[in-house]
Amino acid sequence: MFSLNQAPLLCVQLLVMGQVFAVIDQVDHMLYRGDSVSLDCNISKENTTQINWTKDRFLFAYLVSTNLTFSNFTSPRLRIDQNFPSVLNVSDAQHEDAGLYTCDVVTKIDGSRTTQWNLTVSEKPGEVSSSWYFPYILAAVIGLLLCCIAPAVCLCRKLRARTPEQNLESGGEVVVPQGSRERRTNNKQRSQYMERVNSIYDVY
């Protein structure tokens, strides 16, 4: 059993397989990712009864006599000329667009003529090298940052942990907090006041 959606596909396949005379041309075509290409069957409208495009499980069929079209192509990058579908355009090619494209043309005189394009999509030379060594550069940069940051953190902790006596021994200046300076000044003033009071009253 098959569904109604599969019926046109089955009919087209049977028509193509039923042709006795067939001429097959095959072309290998290589393009870079992002490029565009046009695949042309190079046929005229005269004597052409049917045009079929296939790629993997995808099919485009055009019946000239009834001007009917059936298609299950889903990629927006694959476009077929609606005026006369003997040309298939591939735009902004990606890796999933690679594969075997087949154009079957059924004519009244010559039977079936088949043209195949084996399309391969590869990275541009600059893109291959940059994407290949990017993880290695990233790992090296992270390693270098870690090697610089770890000693800096250790040095900061060591300098903070030093006592004022160690700073004096090493010739550094002791930084006295503001509050302790005020207390020392107050204590000094008190002691001077007490000395004056004692000298006035002769108390020793």
Residue 54 confidence (pLDDT): 93
Residue 194 confidence (pLDDT): 75
What is the enclosing helix (H) or strand (E) of 191?
helix 178-200
**More confident site: 128 or 86:** 86
pLDDT band, very low/low/confident/very high, at 9 (cuts 50, 70, 90) = very low
Residue 21 confidence (pLDDT): 45
- CB burial of residue 58 (10 Å; 0-12, 13-18, 19+): middle
State how beta strands 22-32 and 111-122 pair: parallel
Residue 15 has pLDDT above 50, yes or no: no
Residue 175 confidence (pLDDT): 52
Residue 63 has pLDDT above 70, yes or no: yes
Please say whether the dihedral angle defined by the alpha carbons of residues 105, 110, 111 and 114, taken in this order, is positive or negative.
negative
pLDDT band, very low/low/confident/very high, at 131 (cuts 50, 70, 90) = low
Q: What is the mean pLDDT of residues 30-36?
A: 91
Residue 185 has pLDDT above 50, yes or no: yes
Residue 10 confidence (pLDDT): 45
**Percent of the chain residues topping a pLDDT of 70:** 71
pLDDT band, very low/low/confident/very high, at 160 (cuts 50, 70, 90) = confident
Q: In the numeric block, which tokens belong to residue 41?
A: 């069957």
Residues paired with 58 in a beta bridge: 55
What is the enclosing helix (H) or strand (E) of 180?
helix 178-200
